[in-house]
């Protein structure tokens, strides 16, 4: 398998999400450099020191240091987690105006650096912030990727596996749509191993209502975690690690990321969570799953929600 020649990663934002991702990278072999950028320069310096002290026990012997946007020029991947945090009771979409301004400023400096790699966006609301990043930088759309519904999908696989008492690696199911309240599960494309989940439920006499409850639990998970501990960061940190690994190692892995739509599902002009093949070029292609009328309606509603916010809130700020 080919790997990128220059395995240098820049992380913009050293909050809980950014540092959960950075910490998880210590178990990712073969990374040469990790650069931490934050408006709070001293915090970035302290985080770099703390991480570096664990390198003798890490899988990767990378160089870790606090830097600035000039360090982006020769990076392979930039991961952006910076932005205002979601507060208890606040939806991801309510963060839009604040984080659009923050993302615009970050991306202008990244573009000025001469960066030519792949951008991964995790700042919320992630589908909208990925749109902002691509619009501001003008980078190829396949090389600007949002974390999308990667975490939602991980939560779904975990909960379905727990419900059926199977290994989560054998649960093949996806959350699609917005990373937020208008997401949905195309259950007709859910499998346990190579067996249809719906067929398995029917054979075992289980109730479809159980799956609907699992989806509700997935959708509400972030709100519950934020209520209990003020923020959610470990799950997304590991999700970002997985995405970065797929890019660095040219895996051609299918992942539910926020990808630019070009009529694959009947919509265009926005980023939203869909299964896509990810490799060293970014998004190689979007995987098209035939959707039934109900699921297509949910996807369209999710797109309509994002499109309205882009038109009314984001585009005027750009």
What's the pLDDT tens digit per position in 103-145?
999 999 999 999 999 999 999 999 999 999 999 999 999 999 9
Mean pLDDT, the chain, whole residue set: 94
Residue 300 has pLDDT above 80, yes or no: yes
Please report which helix (H) or strand (E) contains residue 172, including its range: strand 171-172
Q: Which residues contact 49 (CB under 8 A, 6 or more apart)?
A: none
Annotated active-site residue in 172, 179, 189, 288: 179
| Model pLDDT for residues 148-178, shown as the tens digit of each residue | 999 999 999 999 999 999 999 999 999 999 9
Q: Name the phi and psi angles at 43, rounded to 5.
A: -65, -45
Nearest Cα residue to 146 out of 21, 270, 298: 270
Measure the CA–CA gap between 129 and 121, rounded to whole angstroms: 7
Entry pTM:
0.94
How many other CB atoms sit within 10 Å of the CB of residue 75? 25
The structural domains of the chain, with segments of one domain joined by +, span 8-146, 150-317
Taking residues 244-250, what's their average pLDDT?
Answer: 96
Residue with tokens 């259950």: 187
Taking residues 41-47, what's their average pLDDT?
Answer: 97
Q: Name the phi and psi angles at 164, rounded to 5.
A: -95, -5
Query: What is the structure's pLDDT at 61?
Result: 87
* 250 to 46, 204, 243: CA distances (angstroms): 32, 39, 11
Residue 1 has pLDDT above 70, yes or no: no
Q: How many Cα atoms within 13 Å fall on the side-chain side of residue 240?
A: 29
Measure the CA–CA gap between 10 and 21, rounded to whole angstroms: 12
Query: What is the structure's pLDDT at 92?
Result: 62
Please report which helix (H) or strand (E) contains residue 256, including its range: strand 253-262
- Using DSSP's 3-state secondary structure scheme, residue 9 falls into strand
Query: What is the structure's pLDDT at 194?
Result: 95
Vertex 139: Cα angle to 69 and 175 (nearest 5): 100
Q: Which residues contact 113 (CB under 8 A, 6 or more apart)?
A: 69, 70, 71, 72, 73
Task: Please state which CATH number belongs to domain 8-146.
Answer: 3.40.50.720
Taking residues 268-292, what's their average pLDDT?
Answer: 97
Whether domain 150-317 has CATH 3.90.110.10: the reply is: yes
Asked if the peptide bond before residue 173 counts as cis, ω within 30 degrees of 0, the response is no
Active site residue 179: yes
């Amino acid at each position: 398998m080919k790997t990128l020649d220059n395995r240098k990663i820049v992380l913009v934002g050293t909050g809980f999400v950014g540092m959960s991702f950075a910490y998880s990278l210590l178990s990712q072999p073969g990374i040469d450099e990790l650069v931490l950028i934050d408006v709070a320069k001293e915090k970035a310096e302290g985080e770099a020191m703390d991480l570096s002290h664990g390198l003798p026990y890490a899988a990767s012997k990378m160089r870790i240091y606090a830097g600035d946007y000039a360090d982006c020029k020769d990076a392979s991947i930039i991961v952006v987690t910076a932005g205002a945090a979601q507060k208890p009771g606040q939806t991801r979409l309510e963060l839009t105006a604040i984080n659009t301004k923050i993302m615009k400023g970050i991306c202008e400096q990244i573009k000025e650096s001469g960066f030519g790699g792949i951008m991964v966006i995790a700042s919320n609301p992630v589908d909208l912030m990925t749109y902002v990043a691509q619009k501001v930088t003008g980078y190829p759309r396949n090389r600007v990727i949002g974390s999308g519904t990667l975490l939602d999908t991980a939560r779904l696989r975990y909960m379905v596996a727990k419900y059926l008492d199977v290994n989560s690696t054998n649960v093949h199911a996806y959350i699609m749509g917005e990373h937020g309240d208008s997401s949905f599960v195309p259950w007709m494309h859910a499998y346990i191993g190579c067996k249809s989940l719906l067929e398995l439920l029917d054979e075992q006499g289980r109730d479809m209502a159980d799956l609907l409850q699992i989806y509700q639990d997935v959708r509400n998970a972030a709100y519950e975690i934020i209520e209990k501990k003020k923020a959610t960061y470990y799950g997304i940190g590991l999700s970002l690690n997985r995405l970065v690994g797929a890019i660095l190692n040219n895996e051609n892995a299918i992942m539910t990321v926020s990808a630019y739509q070009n009529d694959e599902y009947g919509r265009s002009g926005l980023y939203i969570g869909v299964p896509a093949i990810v490799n060293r070029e970014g998004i190689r292609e979007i995987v098209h799953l035939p959707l039934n009328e109900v699921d297509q309606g949910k996807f369209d509603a999710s797109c309509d929600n994002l499109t309205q916010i882009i038109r009314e809130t984001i585009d005027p700020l750009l």
